[in-house]
Amino acid sequence: MREPLRVGIAGLGTVGASVARLMARNADGLAMRAGRPMALTAVCARDRGRDRGVDLSRAAWHADPLALARDPNVDCVVELIGGEEGPARALVEAALGAGKHVVTANKALLARHGMALARLAEERGVALAFEASAAGGVPVVKALREALSGNRVARVSGILNGTCNYILTRMEAEGLSFAECLADAQRLGYAEADPTFDVEGFDTAHKLAILTSLAFGVALDPDAIYVEGISKITPLDLRMAAELGYRIKLLGVAERTPTGIEQRVHPTMVPRTSSLAQVMGVTNAVTIDADAVGELSLIGPGAGGDATASAVIADICDVAADVVRPTFGIPADRLAAPERAPMQRHEGGYYIRLSVFDRPGSAAGIATRMAQADISLESIIQHRARTADADPSGRSGAPVPVVLITYATTEAAIREALARIDADGHVAEPPQVIRIERE
Amino acid sequence: MREPLRVGIAGLGTVGASVARLMARNADGLAMRAGRPMALTAVCARDRGRDRGVDLSRAAWHADPLALARDPNVDCVVELIGGEEGPARALVEAALGAGKHVVTANKALLARHGMALARLAEERGVALAFEASAAGGVPVVKALREALSGNRVARVSGILNGTCNYILTRMEAEGLSFAECLADAQRLGYAEADPTFDVEGFDTAHKLAILTSLAFGVALDPDAIYVEGISKITPLDLRMAAELGYRIKLLGVAERTPTGIEQRVHPTMVPRTSSLAQVMGVTNAVTIDADAVGELSLIGPGAGGDATASAVIADICDVAADVVRPTFGIPADRLAAPERAPMQRHEGGYYIRLSVFDRPGSAAGIATRMAQADISLESIIQHRARTADADPSGRSGAPVPVVLITYATTEAAIREALARIDADGHVAEPPQVIRIERE
């Protein structure tokens, strides 16, 4: 059998420690699969003393990631430091520059610098592998890059952030507020102390940028992504969704449209009977629509030390087996510049929840503004809260929630109508807008 | 760029023609992915005149599959003839023997002769690739062989036959009989004129044999599979399943048990809220339970020309990129002989529908026999059909359906109890037994 692939891991947190453990435990099996053993020869971490459940005594310890990149006893650098700049970026650039393979779980780094890093890797003829970066343990990178080679992808969409899906699942099941569920998620370790990155959709956007490039053969274009998070979703929206036959999920969606490739991340109403609606808690799910295969869905754990390590090890095993493919499926200099489909041209159904002053003419005024923007309404729902100080007509003058469901229209039309409704003084607070995916 | 990979396709039916079309249409994209063009240089089919929607004028035509295997202008043979013996087997053996790569969708051939063919391929250092053989367009072979390299798989289960799932879906939705739905499936082209292979579970068993080898690193052992089809499922069973919160699916299941690897194919009650229960029509679904990743599910089209061709092309693309892995993940001579867990030791819950003579003592007699076999009953359901000639107690003496749901027990205990109940003369016809998967 051949000489071992010498692996260096930078970052021994939950994922890094799990990679080291799984490599040690499965050493024989991995060697049989790859036709070559793998040896952990170097690590880079701050705390040398901590017990990580695996014998690291034979690995060289580096305090500086760049020393790991330069270590002549390392063929393949596993970057698990995180962050789009700083030591992670410096490490990956140095390792690729030194002709070493790189395996990473770092979606932020890839979304921001993936094109330059892919060019560097391809120049040096080494692998830049990142299965763990898109949907944790779910092998969607391999599916898009290899399994669907013969397909033209029309759409890729999914639940890509376990924190958000956990929060929405609990809000719906227990009628709790966003803040309450976020606090629970933080207590359970599903959300960071600063949750902005997850709950405002940026993590999903990074993952979507990667999937878009793989799916459509285009250069990464994270700045083209429309991003909206879940922090403004209320229990009332979840109740209304249920009443209307929907569930609310934070989706990342990339699709070919007549005007170009549309990339968007936002809370979405999906039919309760759809497969995405069944995805609960921290699970991730990706659905790919492609011309030959039709619809393919992959569902599994999007985070967690062992699940993420599973994807990292698959990449290491590919490297050991000398599988070096173009980073994003086709060579970086052949990736087309994507034509951006502007969000204003997005077409679809909309859920609009307005806080309407309960007085004569409000409903008519709103309906008129929608009609002027050529928006057809599928339904209007108003549960009037009768209060003690209501006048004999039942009207209190206080704001009441009114929910409109539209037929397919455009983002531009919705924005125009809502601006006019606001200017007319019918509503007490900014409208809630949630896009609907009906298929 | 390198010389093209020269591909020969044997069998130009729906799948073969689709492979040729997709190769022609995506030629540039495939070449960029693989780092090498692919050229269709030879075909083997009976009817040369038929229009297959693709220009085949530059391919050599062979009437004899063995001539294709010997064609010096072919590097990679795509076998789409089908059948576990005869021309398909001869072609694959000849091609591998001649040092050519083979891509096949032939599950019967692999289930029966996969070990010998894998040894031959590995001796010659060529690929024997078969993504299309396990779940059509669903890339479960790649997932098990590559994406889960770092995992120990505990269980793989799934809906692997679209014909059966279509029939069960319609029987449940419309209250139709097996025979009625089978006739429709035949009319729509979802079932063969001789449907035995699909509806009696043999097709699922072939696929399961392949998945078992990949999942557990063991030699294929199709003879160890317990196989039961769906032809005896009645509308009454589907109604009872619904009443009890289940749906009936034909599952293939392979799992590690304390006594060895259990492989079984049979109609199964799955909870209506489970992801497998949501899989309708001709769709396939595979769920893998593995220690690092947890639970991973893949759902997509299990058959159809283009979907199957999608998997075939992924394999061709891997071959073009020089990815030659051990056929079943690890080298054939390292695959362990599986310890067979006998079906008698299967543990789980059971649905038992008895046709019980409606007379005093029947219920007590049945309950006693179950208790003697140490079987605990979770529920007993009897909808007594009162008939005109009933005596004043409401009993007619005619057989009435009685459904028993057991807690976890063993196949042996169930068989023993049912044999005694039969011998006691309480039942009018053989019992219906459907296993329950509660997770």
Per-residue confidence at A396, pLDDT binned at 50, 70, 90?
Answer: low
pLDDT of residue B393: 59
Confirm if A170 and B333 have CB atoms less than 8 A apart: no
Using CA coordinates, name the residue in chain B closest to A307: B293
Comparing CB atoms, the residue among B32, B298, B317 nearest residue A331 is B32
b/e string for A68-103 if b means 16 or more Cβ within 10 A? Answer: bbebeebbbbbbbbbebeebbbebbbbbbeeebbbb
The whole-number average pLDDT for the span A229-246 is: 96
| A146-301+339-343 is classed CATH 3.30.360.10 | yes
pLDDT the model gives residue A306:
95
Q: Which of residues 285-314 of A touch B (CB under 8 A)?
A: 290-301, 304, 306-307, 309-314
Picking from B32, B150, B295, the nearest residue to A314 by CB comes out as: B150
Helix spans in B175-304 (H):
178-187, 196-199, 202-216, 235-243
Assigned CATH topology for domain A5-135: Rossmann fold (3.40.50)
Interface residue B26 vs chain A (CB under 8 A): yes
């005619």: which residue's tokens? B398
Q: Cα dist. A424→A431, B22, B121, B409 in Å?
A: 13, 56, 75, 69
Name A371's Cβ contacts closer than 8 Å, sequence gap at least 6.
none
Give the DSSP per-residue string, B302-356.
--SHHHHHHHHHHHHHHHHTT----TBSB-GGGSBPPPB--GGG-EEEEEEEEEE
From residue A30, alpha-carbon distances to A223, A318, B146, B148, B150 in Å are: 39, 10, 10, 10, 7
In angstroms, the Cα distances linking A383 to A241, A364, B105, B235 are 14, 17, 57, 42
Token pair 């990743």 in the structure block, residue:
B293
Q: CB B32 to CB A149 under 8 A?
A: no
Residue with tokens 């307005």: A354
List chain A residues with CB under 8 Å of B35.
326
Closest partner CB to A307 (pick from B30, B32, B293): B293
Nearest to B300 among A294, A304, A331 (CB): A294
> Which A residues 142-161 touch B at CB under 8 Å?
142-143, 145-152
The C-alpha of B278 sits at a distance from chain A's nearest C-alpha, in angstroms, of 7
Residues of B in contact with A149 (CB under 8 A): 26, 29-30, 33-34, 313-314, 317
Instruction: Identify all chain A residues contacting B139, using CB atoms and an 8 Å cutoff.
Output: 142-143, 146-148, 296
pLDDT tier, B326 (very low <50, low <70, confident <90, very high otherwise): very high
- pLDDT band at residue A136, thresholds of 50, 70 and 90? very high
pLDDT at A391: 55
Chain B residues touching A29 at Cβ < 8 A: 149, 217, 330
- As a whole number, mean pLDDT of residues A6-19 equals 96
Q: Is B218 on the interface with A (CB under 8 A)?
A: no
Indicate the fold that domain B149-302 takes in CATH.
Answer: Dihydrodipicolinate Reductase; domain 2 (3.30.360)
Min Cα separation B20/chain A (Å): 11
Domain map (residue ranges) of chain A:
5-135, 146-301+339-343, 346-436
pLDDT surpassing 70 at residue B334: yes
pLDDT of residue A384: 63
Strand partners of residue A81:
none
Q: Distance of alpha carbon A414 from its chain centroid, rounded?
A: 25
Question: Which residues in chain A have Cβ-Cβ distances shorter than 8 Å to B310?
Answer: 147-148, 150-151, 290, 292-293
Give A392: exposed, middle or buried? Use CB within 10 Å, 0-12, 13-18, 19+. exposed
Which of A296, A325, A334 lies at the smallest CB-CB distance from B137? A296
Residue B385 has pLDDT above 80, yes or no: no
Q: Is the pLDDT reported for residue B410 higher than 60?
A: yes
Q: Per-residue pLDDT averaged across B408-433, rounded? A: 95
Q: Is B139 on the interface with A (CB under 8 A)?
A: yes
Q: For chain A, what is the HEC assignment?
A: CCCCEEEEEECCCHHHHHHHHHHHHCHHHHHHHHCCCEEEEEEECCCCCCCCCCCCCCCEEECCHHHHHHCCCCCEEEECCCCCCHHHHHHHHHHHHCCCEEEECCHHHHHHHHHHHHHHHHHHCCCEECCHHHHCCCCHHHHHHHHCCCCCEEEEEEECCHHHHHHHHHHHHHCCCHHHHHHHHHHCCCCCCCCHHHHCCHHHHHHHHHHHHHHHCECCCHHHCEECCCCCCCHHHHHHHHHCCEEEEEEEEEEEECCEEEEEEEEEEEECCCCHHHCCCCEEEEEEEECCCEEEEEEEECCCHHHHHHHHHHHHHHHHCCCCCCCECECHHHCECCCECCHHHCEEEEEEEEEEECCCCHHHHHHHHHHHCCCCEEEEEECCCCCCCCCCCCCCCCEEEEEEEECCEEHHHHHHHHHHHHHCCCECCCCEEEEECCC
Most A CBs within 10 Å, among B140, B279, B293, B327, to test the A interface: B293
B119 touches chain A (CB under 8 A): no
Q: How far is A427 from chain B (nearest CA, A)?
A: 40
Q: Mean pLDDT score of chain B, rounded to an integer?
A: 94
Chain A CB within 8 Å of residue B78 CB: no
- CB contact under 8 Å between B306 and A292, yes or no, is yes
Closest chain B CA to residue A33: B330
> Other CB atoms closer than 10 Å to residue A133's CB: what's the count?
26
> What's the pLDDT score for residue B106?
97
What pLDDT, on a 0 to 100 scale, did the predictor assign at position B48? Answer: 84
Neighbours of A405 (CB within 10 A): 18
Percent of chain B clearing pLDDT 70 (strictly above): 97
Q: How many Å apart are CA B378 and CA B435, to the nearest integer?
A: 14
A326 has a chain B CB within 8 A of its CB: yes
Predicted TM-score of the model (pTM): 0.95
Q: Which of A130, A310, A334 to mutate to test the interface with B (most CBs of B within 10 A)?
A: A310
pLDDT of A197 reads: 94
Task: Give the nearest partner residue to B310 out of A139, A148, A310, using CB atoms.
Answer: A148
- The neighbouring-strand residues paired with A252 are A158, A265
Residue B388 above 70 pLDDT?
Answer: no
Q: Which two tokens stand for residue B336?
A: 């362990």
Contact list in B for residue A330 (CB cut-off 8 A) is: 29, 32-33
The pLDDT score that the predictor gives to residue B190 is 82
**Phi, psi dihedral angles at B129 (to 5 degrees):** -110, 145
Helix orientation angle between B162-174 and B178-187, rounded to the nearest 10 degrees: 130
Average pLDDT over residues A388-401: 66
Contact A300 B297 (CB under 8 A): yes
Record the tokens describing residue A152, joined without a space.
């033209």
The pLDDT score that the predictor gives to residue B360 is 85
- Of all residues in chain A, the one with the smallest CA distance to B272 is A278
CB contact under 8 A, A310 and B292: yes
**Cα(B95)–Cα(B70) distance, rounded to whole angstroms?**
7
Annotated active-site positions of A, please? 207
Question: How far is A274 from chain B, CA to nearest CA, in Å?
Answer: 9
C-alpha A90: how far from its chain's center?
Answer: 24
At residue A92, does pLDDT exceed 60? Answer: yes
The verdict on a CB contact (< 8 Å) between B142 and A138 is: no
B29 vs chain A: nearest CA distance in angstroms?
A: 8
Q: Which residues of A touch B218 (CB under 8 A)?
A: none
Across chain A, mean pLDDT equals 94
Q: Which residue of A has its CA nearest to B336?
A: A29
Name the minimum distance, in Å, from the CA of A101 to any CA of chain B.
Answer: 17
Q: Do A139 and B137 touch (CB under 8 A)?
A: no
Asked if A54 is an interface residue toward chain B (Cβ–Cβ < 8 A), one would say: no
pLDDT higher than threshold 80 for residue B391:
no
Does the CB of B329 have a partner CB in chain A at under 8 Å?
A: yes
Q: Are A8 and A78 in contact (CB under 8 A)?
A: yes
- Is some CB atom of chain A closer than 8 A to the CB atom of B315? no
**Inter-chain CB pairs, A–B, below 8 Å:** 187
**Cross-chain residue pair A275–B299, CB shorter than 8 Å:** yes
CATH topology of domain A346-436: Alpha-Beta Plaits (3.30.70)
Contact across the interface for B313 and A143, Cβ inside 8 Å? no
pLDDT tens sequence across A152-189? 999 999 999 999 999 999 999 999 999 999 999 899 88
Catalytically annotated residues of B? 207
Please tell me the predicted confidence (pLDDT) of residue B395: 62
Instruction: State whether B329 and A30 contact (CB < 8 Å).
Output: no
Instruction: Note whether A296 contacts B292, CB cutoff 8 Å.
Output: no
Give the pLDDT band of residue A395 (cuts 50, 70, 90).
low
* The predicted structure's pLDDT at residue A192: 82
| Residue B311 with chain A: CB contacts under 8 Å | 147, 293
> Between chains, do A326 and B142 touch, taking CB under 8 Å as contact?
no
Query: Alpha carbon of B316 to those of A322, B52, B97: distances in Å?
Result: 18, 20, 19
pLDDT surpasses 60 at B3? yes
**CB–CB contact B143 A142 (8 Å):** yes
- CA–CA distance, B160 with B202 (Å, rounded to integer): 11
